[in-house]
Structure 1
Amino acid sequence: MRRRPKILAALAALALPIAAIGVSSSGPPAEASTPAPGLAAAFQSAAQQYGVPESVLLAVSYAETRWDDHQGKSSTSGGFGPMHLTAGDPSALVERSAGQKLAKGDSLRTLYEASDLTGLDPVALRNDAAANVAGGAAVLASYQKSLGLPVGAATSPASWYAAVASYSGATNKVGASAFADDVYTILARGAARTTNTGQQVSMPAVAATPERDQLSRLKLAAGAKDSAGVECPSGLACESLPAPYQKTGDAATDYGNHDLANRPKTGKVDYIVIHDTEGGWQGTLNLVQDPTYVSWQYTMRSSDGHTWQHVKADDVAWHAGNWYVNMHSIGIEHEGFAAQGATWYTEALYRNSARLVKYLAKKNNIPLDRAHIIGHDQVPGTIPSTVAGMHWDPGPYWDWEHYFDLLGAPIYGHKIFPVRTGSIVTIKPGFASNVQVVTDCVTAGTACAPQGTNFVYLRQAPDDAAPLVKDLGLRPGSSASTTQVSDIGARAAAGSQYVVAQRSGDWVAVWYLGALAWFKSPASAPDAFAKPGLVVKPKAGKVTVPVYGRAYPEQAAYPAGIPYQAVTPLQYSIGAGQAYPVGDATIETDYYRATTFDGQPPTDHVQVLGKDRYYQIWFGHRMAYVRAADVDLRPAF
């Protein structure tokens, strides 16, 4: 129902992040341990040369890029290297020599500021990671000096709060303090990871109570220009930009672009749907203000995570392409292009999105797991004819594992439980090192630039040369799935769950779309881990069980004046002997009737509740629903 088109765009840059580790909340301030050669040594050297505590320099870089260098390519906000030194609009970069003064209005182009402070050429600052780190240290130190605060590698990390806030480039207190608070959270936890270039960098946890009162020295505006009534956490720069609810023609059914409701009374909120915009943020904001278009609850900017709210959480936005999911979800659009990945999916975007999702999940009692915090690519088709046209964003380059680390709900399984026939496995392939072959990002038939991916391929046999599994909904013929960037037919994404059907050496077969699907998961480097949970199996005597794209009520539940919404099975089915994990056993069987402008109960703007129960299950790449009457609910082996 009512979904917008998405436009495939060209691939741009690389970023290969994995999760942060190590938490400590006590002990004296500490600097990083003696580093290995390479990037770690560059942080140590720059900290000493420019008088910045090494832990602060490491934490700022981690908050900006997680220490990745993007191989000399810019982010969407024109930032380069591990320190994300900014050079203005990345589409209109102007080369400048060292020593050439900044033009008026260029104060946030920190790459050129770093060039002035270090004497290093802007090209080196863009392309050489060590030079970039030195430039970032020089900029941080200059901010500290300008605020009249002490400089020195041995100074307390707590005394650098305002300088760190300045480094964010935010123009208001909300954005600046949110970035600084993230940096000090990273300091408190510590971090360690391998960067996209294979550099191992670590930062021990540091106990430092930031001097937040320093923020007043920056003389920043209070916050967003219009934050009245927004449903956002206090640490997120968020403003209101309402989507129109108005008539678009003479008929009662001519209206847009969302529906008024009273959730959870008219249907509880079960899901938060992660979208990408497939366009820039300004164009996206223009679209959501068009009453003849569709809607979503929030839009988030890539460069800094700035957020606009368009539709209240208790109203129903038109964003998922599935009315049942619309009824029960909140949609968040993230500025970016699914085929470009890390250029647009910035650390600021991930962190602020996680901040918003945690707030919304707590407010609406939504579990923080991959069955409820879902990608648009997990939303099922409503009936067989709509399956092939469903969306695939945020795509293979969205780092679900890092995202759930930020949510405080890491994707996990248990090594202590054996992966055996009948057990549930959770897919967790890593991200940085999981560089799968993906094609057609720019040119048909051409491989996409390598970068980390969030999935493993599923094959028809335990062999690397075996064809990928089939998805009869996406490819109605008998052809196998492909490696095309938009083809999700044979992808098991991070956090998704399946039931093991067989094992053969390093290979694991799971039940997937009614058939066997194989992926390699050697014991030495597993891509899946066992996890307890519930599964559904066809009731005894049933040869097949239908699956559905929505959990609508039975015909008898509809009162007079409200037409029955047919419950139509999809083209898939569950065979005898198969099993699928349960994502949610407590969903509502309902239909929210909202078809006319400002309609009134009892025939419009009313929830129809049914008695025929359904379970949400992990079925293929997308989720699906099964009738409770058709299956048995059991613990996994």
Structure 2
Amino acid sequence: MHLTDAAHILATPGSAHVDEDEDPRGDDARPLKLDPATAAAPKRETPLPPASLQTLDAAAALTGLDARTLRTDPAANIRGGAALLASYQKALGGPVGAGTDPAAWYAAVARYSGADTSDAAAAFADEVYDQLGQGASRTTDDGQRVTLAATAAKPDRSRLARLGLRHAERPDGLECPVRLACEWIPAPYEQLSDDPGDYGNHDLGDRPKQQKIEYIVIHDTEGYFGPSVDLVKRADYLGWHYTLRSVDGYIAQHVKTKDVGWHAGNWYVNAKSIGLEHEGFAGQGTWYTEAMYRTSAKLVRHLALKFGIPMDRQHIIGHDNVPGINAGAVRGMHWDPGPYWDWSHYFDLMKAPFRSTGTPRTGLVTIDPDFATNRPAFFGCNQQPPGVPTPTPPAQPCPSRGSSSVILRTAPSPDAPLVNDLGLRPDGTPDTMYVSDHGARASAGQTYALAGRQGDWTAIWYLGQKAWFLNPASAPTAKWATGFVVTPRPGKATIPVYGRAYPEQAAYPDTIPYQAISPLQYTFAAGQRYAVGGVLPGEYYRAVSFDGSAPGDRTVVRGENRYVQVQFGHRIMFVNLDDVLVLPSPVGAPR
């Protein structure tokens, strides 16, 4: 019932944004001079959460149940939410009781959202009443089918004004669907010193006229909505395009989509993406609310249709799917939104569900475990970043909760070691079940090339090796798919894999320095196959000065080289088209 307990979450650690060494701009030609980790550290020090973030206490007082029971027992949680909703209805002077007309509860439902603006509260209530009109059916964790019959109700909005909420301004040019609660809270574009290259907190652009937007990157804030928005308003911090609030799905836009945010840790991806930050914590996942999933999905669908971005996991990606720009950057890349983001539900809400498009003979698999029952035994959710606090508390098992991740092993056995990610563990040791250690995982919606099958196990090509995951026919964790794969051209024993798709040296004019790229540490050997996410031109967006005065500034360099985006591991990567054969996935697929 979406009872909130910010005080409990505040006492738990998170590290997706404050414990790595990622340069969010991701441009080694101009390393970011800021210290975002220092700026981000206070985000968890909000002293007293607002009432909307602490409704668990109110529910406990109304029901007489303790907070732990309300937090962990589903029936008690529903009872607590119902009591809270009824208390709002009484306070508004509305009728209460099982026999009352659902239409009369609209204002109470709006207040239940916890929103601080009238449009956000109304949008939440509208979503609830839309769902009531459609009905719903779900299967519970223990396999029981629960159905809510469709109920036609014309909501009575007459009491909405009694909530006394502020009205958010919607200026012309706000890039949100009309029915979503959205506000313009601009990120600054300011020069920080006499040096034209010293500015923040994003870059100006002219997308998509100048450069196609290929990706939407999903992040979490590792902090509260308010303090996170305060940070994006700082010229000496980072700029991203949107922030979404957990309690009600409210959206703040900060950077125009034509402009380039500093959010993904990879300049090639930044230049071709839109970044969405979601209030929440990667190590917990409990702040990823239904309200936020729904508004985010509507926003992403709107942006994808507007800019021609395919609604698939090759183009709508997590920060944890963005590659490092070079071998040295891989280890510091962020891991949000983490294993507890429900990708399958998210795409259902986008009206782009994951579907089977193939057979066991078509050579591709799309990961898709049942989120509610897929509960990997992660550990370390209780730990702060290394050295914070001192001493670091012992790592504890994470609470059992649903996950989008399947675990990858070196052999078709639950006792086999996890596979190795050389970027995270250069010594070749297996990755672990530590919550942020994503080097032996595949996530819902990601499509991989089939490498073999044995009993209940399926193998995929992953970071230069066969990686096995449990995929029994009785409870499948993947769907068969068809598409295209790449494999090294004949005569090539191995080919390089890159974290960005920049043009060749000859493409650069004299006014723009050549941006050299180097391979990542992974091996793509003959005989291996990887799923194709698209064929892209080599591109580099030059943006290095506040006023555009640098030679060649605010221009796109395009070359003759073309790259193929591949699902090489947990992160997308790129190979040179000249190095590979692009084949229909059934050709040469394991039988």
TM-score category, normalised to shorter length: 0.7 to 0.9
Q: 1:608 offset after TM fit, Å?
A: 0.8
Match 2:461 to one of 511, 518, 525: 511
* Matched-pair contact (CA < 8 Å) for 2:52–2:115: no
Q: More deviation in 619-628 or 347-356?
A: 347-356
What is residue 164 of structure 1 aligned with on the other side?
109
**What TM-score, normalized by structure 1, do the two folds share?**
0.78
Within the alignment, does 1:429 sit opposite 2:373 as a pair?
no
1:172-191 alignment, distance < 5 Å: 172-191=117-136
What is residue 538 of structure 2 aligned with on the other side?
589
Within the alignment, does 1:273 sit opposite 2:201 as a pair?
no
Task: Return the letter of the residue paired with 1:240.
Answer: W
Q: 1:588 offset after TM fit, Å?
A: 3.6
Question: For 1:488, what is the secondary structure of its paired residue?
Answer: coil
Match 1:577 to one of 527, 537, 550: 527
Distance 1:291 1:73 in 2: 28
Q: 1:371 offset after TM fit, Å?
A: 1.0
1:126-205 alignment, distance < 5 Å: 126=70, 129-130=74-75, 133-134=78-79, 136-137=81-82, 140=85, 153=98, 157-195=102-140, 198=142, 200=144, 202-205=146-149
Q: 1:532 offset after TM fit, Å?
A: 1.6
* Matched-pair contact (CA < 8 Å) for 1:157–1:208: no
Q: 1:258 offset after TM fit, Å?
A: 0.8
Q: Is the alpha carbon distance of 1:110 and 1:199 closer, same or farther for their aligned partners in structure 2, counting shifts above 3 Å?
A: farther
Q: Is the alpha carbon distance of 1:476 and 1:130 closer, same or farther for their aligned partners in structure 2, counting shifts above 3 Å?
A: closer
* Matched-pair contact (CA < 8 Å) for 1:439–1:484: yes
Match 2:266 to one of 286, 310, 322: 322
Match 1:617 to one of 554, 557, 566: 566
Q: More deviation in 279-288 or 305-314?
A: 279-288
Within the alignment, does 1:369 sit opposite 2:312 as a pair?
yes
Question: For 1:548, what is the secondary structure of its paired residue?
Answer: coil
Within the alignment, does 1:502 sit opposite 2:432 as a pair?
no
- Deviations along 1:157-179, one digit per CA (max 9) or x if unpaired, are 44543443343343433112211
1:379-394 alignment, distance < 5 Å: 379-394=322-337
Task: Return the letter of the residue paired with 2:457.
Answer: W
Distance 1:522 1:221 in 2: 51
Within the alignment, does 1:542 sit opposite 2:492 as a pair?
yes
What is residue 606 of structure 1 aligned with on the other side?
555
5+ long unaligned stretches in structure 1: 1-60, 79-88, 94-104
Within the alignment, does 1:349 sit opposite 2:292 as a pair?
yes
Match 1:563 to one of 513, 516, 519: 513
What is residue 52 of structure 1 aligned with on the other side?
none
Task: Return the letter of the residue paired with 2:531.
Answer: P
Q: 1:256 offset after TM fit, Å?
A: 1.3
- The number of equivalent residue pairs is 541
Distance 2:146 2:381 in 1: 34
Within the alignment, does 1:287 sit opposite 2:231 as a pair?
yes
Q: Is the alpha carbon distance of 1:136 and 1:383 closer, same or farther for their aligned partners in structure 2, counting shifts above 3 Å?
A: closer
* Matched-pair contact (CA < 8 Å) for 1:429–1:494: yes
Question: For 1:345, what is the secondary structure of its paired residue?
Answer: coil
1:207-246 alignment, distance < 5 Å: 207-211=151-155, 213-214=157-158, 218=162, 220-221=164-165, 223-224=167-168, 229-246=173-190
Q: Is the alpha carbon distance of 1:258 and 1:388 closer, same or farther for their aligned partners in structure 2, counting shifts above 3 Å?
A: same
- Deviations along 1:467-490, one digit per CA (max 9) or x if unpaired, are 111111111112111111111110
Distance 1:143 1:234 in 2: 28
Q: Is the alpha carbon distance of 1:123 and 1:475 closer, same or farther for their aligned partners in structure 2, counting shifts above 3 Å?
A: closer
Distance 1:348 1:272 in 2: 19
- Deviations along 1:297-336, one digit per CA (max 9) or x if unpaired, are 1122222222222111100011111000000001111122
Q: Is the alpha carbon distance of 1:594 and 1:115 closer, same or farther for their aligned partners in structure 2, counting shifts above 3 Å?
A: closer
Distance 2:574 2:308 in 1: 21
* Matched-pair contact (CA < 8 Å) for 1:107–1:113: no
Q: 1:280 offset after TM fit, Å?
A: 2.4
Q: Which has the larger radius of gyration?
A: 1
Question: For 1:556, what is the secondary structure of its paired residue?
Answer: helix
- Deviations along 1:147-202, one digit per CA (max 9) or x if unpaired, are 67666645554454344334334343311221122112322332233446x48462
Distance 2:431 2:570 in 1: 12
Distance 1:372 1:179 in 2: 28
Distance 2:581 2:257 in 1: 34
Distance 1:131 1:543 in 2: 60
What is residue 27 of structure 1 aligned with on the other side?
none
Q: Is the alpha carbon distance of 1:241 and 1:144 closer, same or farther for their aligned partners in structure 2, counting shifts above 3 Å?
A: closer
Distance 1:224 1:122 in 2: 37
Task: Return the letter of the residue paired with 2:126.
Answer: D
Question: For 1:569, what is the secondary structure of its paired residue?
Answer: coil
Question: For 2:345, what is the secondary structure of its paired residue?
Answer: helix
Match 1:448 to one of 364, 377, 398: 398
What is residue 14 of structure 2 aligned with on the other side?
none
Distance 1:455 1:478 in 2: 22
Q: Is the alpha carbon distance of 1:563 and 1:181 closer, same or farther for their aligned partners in structure 2, counting shifts above 3 Å?
A: same
Q: Is the alpha carbon distance of 1:446 and 1:219 closer, same or farther for their aligned partners in structure 2, counting shifts above 3 Å?
A: closer
Q: Is the alpha carbon distance of 1:209 and 1:584 closer, same or farther for their aligned partners in structure 2, counting shifts above 3 Å?
A: farther
What is residue 478 of structure 2 aligned with on the other side?
528
CA RMSD of aligned residues (A): 3.1
What is residue 23 of structure 1 aligned with on the other side?
none
Q: Is the alpha carbon distance of 1:220 and 1:635 closer, same or farther for their aligned partners in structure 2, counting shifts above 3 Å?
A: farther
Calculate percent identity across the aligned residue pairs: 53
Q: Is the alpha carbon distance of 1:351 and 1:77 closer, same or farther for their aligned partners in structure 2, counting shifts above 3 Å?
A: farther
What is residue 410 of structure 1 aligned with on the other side?
353
Within the alignment, does 1:457 sit opposite 2:407 as a pair?
yes
Q: 1:635 offset after TM fit, Å?
A: 1.4
Q: Is the alpha carbon distance of 1:222 and 1:92 closer, same or farther for their aligned partners in structure 2, counting shifts above 3 Å?
A: closer
- Deviations along 1:436-463, one digit per CA (max 9) or x if unpaired, are 1112222454322221121111111111
Distance 1:75 1:230 in 2: 35
Distance 1:181 1:253 in 2: 47
Within the alignment, does 1:477 sit opposite 2:420 as a pair?
no
* Matched-pair contact (CA < 8 Å) for 2:70–2:80: no
Question: For 2:560, what is the secondary structure of its paired residue?
Answer: coil
Distance 1:136 1:419 in 2: 45
Question: For 1:259, what is the secondary structure of its paired residue?
Answer: coil
Match 1:261 to one of 205, 214, 226: 205
Q: 1:581 offset after TM fit, Å?
A: 0.9
Task: Return the letter of the residue paired with 2:150.
Answer: V
1:88-99 alignment, distance < 5 Å: none
Distance 2:80 2:66 in 1: 12
**What TM-score, normalized by structure 2, do the two folds share?**
0.83
